Structure 1
């Protein structure tokens, strides 16, 4: 069935303009606006009206931009924020916004009860009237949104008629002297500009009434901007005119003390009573329609699993969510009064509006190609001003409640972040990260390199499907806290024959990285042979200065493979990359369990020694190696050199600000000294010299002679760029 054929596909006037106007021209206008004028005076009241409208106008511009950039479904502000800032912010603000909308029902019902109690004979408990009213509103919405919208047209006519009665009466009573008397502020002991602002602000929060019906609109992208902006303009004129005529029709004392002053200055007070009933009921209906749809959208997205049952609907209506909204409203009716609820709602709405503006601001500055709003009257500056304005107003109204509201949203965001939500919609987080990364890469490209900033970017040749797990574990020890790791794999053959395998191997590596919680990136290439593939990986991986600077390989244990290995070492030296060759004789294991013992670094000068010491230090910084000790060792042939060499080694560690012990071993046979001294070591670092071509056949025997049966040895050949003193 096409969307336009739905019976509840509402137009701009019926689905957006009317709900917005009726929610804005509600209980505050009829029962508290006189109090606002009496306390703040005409001038400050106009400032409050303009300031409130400025915030809601900026928010509406942001709302319109997002609404015309994406296919808007049910959920209103929650849907728009979650699809921009992500499910964590969306879920946090969605829950808060739902609670605020539900409490708004209580506020409007309490306002209706105040007006009804004033004309009813006898003493009927106000709580009973409010409860019955809340139940009636819930039943109306339960019947269906289409029927409720039709009721709102009748209510709109009642509000228009009551406003006509008000302006007719105040024109006849208008006294310029009263304008002068009521021009300046007249705050009583407990009130101030910002407390009155907080009392009035809920009157203008109805801008979301249309957006909350987004899932029931025929054309949300067209209706939300036009209907909401039109409602803001119309209601701003109404409130401005009402402030002027109230100030010219009653004394300040009457405005403050008489909550029904709007009716008393009207031509036909009974019509004002009708307007109060109509406005409060319509606002309650609007909030009762909007809040369940927010809860339903939250539940459908499974942001909070405990809310999942509220995602169900019958005949398109969120029945269970309606019941939950009515229950929260009833709690508000029993626990609070109008003056208490209004500031709480103000904070919730300001947080929501602030995040909505922030979402549009981020969408603008990330320059995401997918951000193409058809609404052209919003940019990063208007969105930023809206977000900052909301934050400032929150702090000025009551910094304590602002802190509570912010902490509540922050706590919900933290909870959802820890929940690792798996959503299938895009948000701006990746776009924001991309833009930040792009700028940082460009800055890094223009900056001068200094050894102080050297970090390990290890290309680990991990083999097919982690066939060399010990290399992955070792690379993780070196890079997890400070560096980066690429898991390199070479697929030998022609591209035409191996392209499908390339995609499969990349997927396998991605899955393994996620399963083992590695801080790593997969890198797979197709090449004619292994050597060419490794060279391609080294040359092509990375971007600008951010590229692999250390190649980690396993040590071949056969003469045939050693020839290929030696040729590769020479090529990597030509490519100016450091090389670490891991020789591990014990059975390779993928478990990141550090063996017991010291980490021995055998010093033979700065050429390879500085990188060896730094890598050993990085490895010992990993949690798996806590408590192990670094030893800096050197072989000398004469005892007379012990003191000088030990002093030199101590100075190296001291200047490098690295903890460790030093030891000088006297021996004329270096291999024997190394094997004897480090036989109980957990790890041994040795320098590596690239062999000449004629030495390839003897290279394996030279290595085996040097290390014997030491179980874990890392051979290091440094390409430079490291200074321990940096």
Structure 2
């Protein structure tokens, strides 16, 4: 900004420079949108970009990018220290050793950061003030020296000395690669999910405005030849040239401090995830804030090596490529999260779409090739080698990734890969076995199962034929063909499953145990609710057996007879909360229901009954906290009543669907269980009783 921006304006012209700035900021803006989405979709800990990428794309991608990004940040310290030294040496006596000055500066930066992040951040405010004074000095001088005639002469481009739009773009682009400075401090932020999007977006917009305004003012103050040949043109324009020099010193030291703070936190987070055994000692923190002092010392050694062995022109291209690989992977992670429609991908930041993420990833790739295709090849090859190494060793990292979401919809080869994936609650998807009956004799179960699974899960339509296999074999084949035909006729994403068994319960248990392949097995059984005591005696035993088989039971009780089963009724979707045992699955199923196109526009209500007014505020805050942590939109309501059954029926009488929890009856209590569920449901037309077997977490 202080030493090379005049050259950019002189070569590309004012309009060309504005195009360069806007294109560069567009890429960083798209990356920031992806960063914001991931940062608001998970509990953010220390490690910045490494943490976010690893928790989305998995340990292999995260580990590879973690090392590359750490090395880039550590070498960035050397780059900024060398830049500071080059500016400072001009003010020192002749014969002063630049290497000695750079080394002493590096030691000073190391000492500041080693004291602690809190102290360093306070120091950054003073440095920021110096940069702002430098800018004010420039703006004040440019305002008085602006000449419309010179502005018009500099409007168009005037490339010389072999320069072109893309070479000048490559020169400028590293100026906008600092958007991760805040995210790298993720472990030190009070509320990273709020601070990272807000701070990074503000940084992108503010710096974009500064660059554009500078391009206009510089182009209106000096002729093209001066802009190209004089690196100190901003000092000439400024009211107080000394403030520009102070700004150069402040900008480089600020960047060096930022990199010296960010790099060790990436290394510490990487070490704590135990992806590389030889890094584990670096995960130890010091003091109450767990300062990564060991990692800070390693960062200092790497930056010092960069100072002793390389110069600015050698370090800069590799650092830029490492940044771009990181940004590209951030965009790629968000893109994969979006297109796989993972139910756990529920970012509170709503201004990111898979198209913007894909555009950001492609933009990063294009910029890498435009800047230097050879360095781009080196950076990508280094990352690919690390990824290959991590994929070959036995990683024990226990965090979810979108790989499972991709494998979920692929062929046998991918199913075999999925079998070896570590299960994580964030990868939970509804795999529903709906007991649809003969030839869709229970269409409401088929439709409800379709609503729950059409976007993110798998639906199996099960049917039990009672009898002996020898006698019912042909009928089983016929019914399976009929189910196939009806699935195609209604355009369902479902699979048929027909079994012959001596009785209904045995058949259902056989379907539950035998359906699926590997990890891909039904996790919820969708059943109709028995409307008589005799049937409930059989049904109660089935519920107990499903619990023993670790399968959730979803029991739909419907008393209305709509003209069109495929048209959902109007009204809210009410979830009556009584605790996490069944509540988490009820909320998640209600959320999945509302994701269906046919249910859009309806409201989810999370409700609870209390017997006195004293606990209203506490319960309401608890319910609001649940929805906020789950990133699921909805409203909450606390109902005061001594009669829970009456409160449920009164409050939810106009609801489109009501979710209630249940536990299977003990042996001999089936009759009491029947009357209890009937009393709970009362006159409500559509009630879903849920018995959860776990396996999911709202916060995932």
Length-normalised TM-score, structure 1: 0.56
Distance 1:143 1:81, change over 3 A: same
1:716 equivalent in structure 2: none
Aligned residues: 430
Question: Of 372, 383, 387, which residue of structure 2 is paired with 1:413?
Answer: 387
Q: State the distance in 1 between where 2:511 and 2:344 align.
A: 32
Question: Of 110, 113, 117, which residue of structure 2 is paired with 1:145?
Answer: 117
Distance 1:190 1:92, change over 3 A: farther
Deviation for aligned residue 1:182: 2.8
Distance 1:34 1:179, change over 3 A: same
1:96 equivalent in structure 2: 68
Distance 1:537 1:210, change over 3 A: same
What secondary structure is seen at the aligned counterpart in 2 of 1:372?
coil
2:594 equivalent in structure 1: none
1:224-623 maps to which residues of 2 (within 5 A)? 224-315=196-287, 316-436=290-410, 536=510, 540-542=514-516
**Alpha-carbon deviations, 1:32-81, whole Å to 9, x = none?**
22222223322221111111110110001000000001000000000000
Conservation of the 8 A alpha-carbon contact between 1:296 and 1:321: yes
**Alpha-carbon deviations, 1:572-630, whole Å to 9, x = none?**
xxxxxxxxxxxxxxxxxxxxxxxxxxxxxxxxxxxxxxxxxxxxxxxxxxxxxxxxxxx
**Alpha-carbon deviations, 1:148-193, whole Å to 9, x = none?**
0001111111111110000111122222333233333343445333
Conservation of the 8 A alpha-carbon contact between 1:199 and 1:343: no
Conservation of the 8 A alpha-carbon contact between 2:324 and 2:365: yes
Deviation for aligned residue 1:110: 1.7
Deviation for aligned residue 1:533: 10
Conservation of the 8 A alpha-carbon contact between 1:108 and 1:281: yes
1:614-693 maps to which residues of 2 (within 5 A)? none
Q: State the distance in 1 between where 2:144 and 2:95 align.
A: 35
Q: State the distance in 1 between where 2:185 and 2:513 align.
A: 55
1:73 equivalent in structure 2: 45
Deviation for aligned residue 1:194: 2.5
Conservation of the 8 A alpha-carbon contact between 1:199 and 1:342: no
Conservation of the 8 A alpha-carbon contact between 1:52 and 1:204: yes
Distance 1:180 1:78, change over 3 A: same
Query: Which moves more between the two structures, 197-206 or 173-182?
Result: 173-182
Q: State the distance in 2 between where 1:280 and 1:216 align.
A: 23
1:47 equivalent in structure 2: 19
Distance 1:374 1:537, change over 3 A: closer
Conservation of the 8 A alpha-carbon contact between 1:67 and 1:80: yes
Q: State the distance in 1 between where 2:513 and 2:318 align.
A: 59
What secondary structure is seen at the aligned counterpart in 1 of 2:94?
coil
Q: State the distance in 1 between where 2:96 and 2:166 align.
A: 35
Q: State the distance in 1 between where 2:406 and 2:148 align.
A: 56
Q: State the distance in 1 between where 2:409 and 2:338 align.
A: 11
Distance 1:332 1:248, change over 3 A: farther
Question: Of 161, 165, 169, which residue of structure 1 is paired with 2:137?
Answer: 165
**Alpha-carbon deviations, 1:92-116, whole Å to 9, x = none?**
1111111111122122112211221
What secondary structure is seen at the aligned counterpart in 2 of 1:191?
coil
Distance 1:191 1:336, change over 3 A: farther
Conservation of the 8 A alpha-carbon contact between 2:170 and 2:370: no
Q: State the distance in 2 between where 1:542 and 1:218 align.
A: 44
Quick check: 1:121 aligned with 2:93? Answer: yes
Deviation for aligned residue 1:430: 0.6
**Higher Rg:** 1
Q: State the distance in 2 between where 1:165 and 1:538 align.
A: 75
Conservation of the 8 A alpha-carbon contact between 2:18 and 2:215: yes
Q: State the distance in 1 between where 2:71 and 2:158 align.
A: 34
Quick check: 1:108 aligned with 2:62? Answer: no
What secondary structure is seen at the aligned counterpart in 2 of 1:208?
coil
**Alpha-carbon deviations, 1:346-402, whole Å to 9, x = none?**
211111100000000111111111111000000111111111111111122222222
What secondary structure is seen at the aligned counterpart in 2 of 1:31?
coil
Conservation of the 8 A alpha-carbon contact between 1:76 and 1:208: yes
Query: Which moves more between the two structures, 148-157 or 64-73?
Result: 148-157
Gaps of 5+ in 1: 1-28, 442-524, 548-726
Q: State the distance in 2 between where 1:181 and 1:339 align.
A: 32
Q: State the distance in 2 between where 1:56 and 1:112 align.
A: 25
Query: Which moves more between the two structures, 189-198 or 312-321?
Result: 189-198
Conservation of the 8 A alpha-carbon contact between 1:198 and 1:346: no
Gaps of 5+ in 2: 416-498, 522-700
1:154-193 maps to which residues of 2 (within 5 A)? 154-193=126-165
Conservation of the 8 A alpha-carbon contact between 1:74 and 1:293: yes
Question: Of 187, 190, 200, which residue of structure 2 is paired with 1:218?
Answer: 190
Distance 1:413 1:35, change over 3 A: same
Deviation for aligned residue 1:539: 9.8
1:492 equivalent in structure 2: none
What secondary structure is seen at the aligned counterpart in 2 of 1:206?
coil
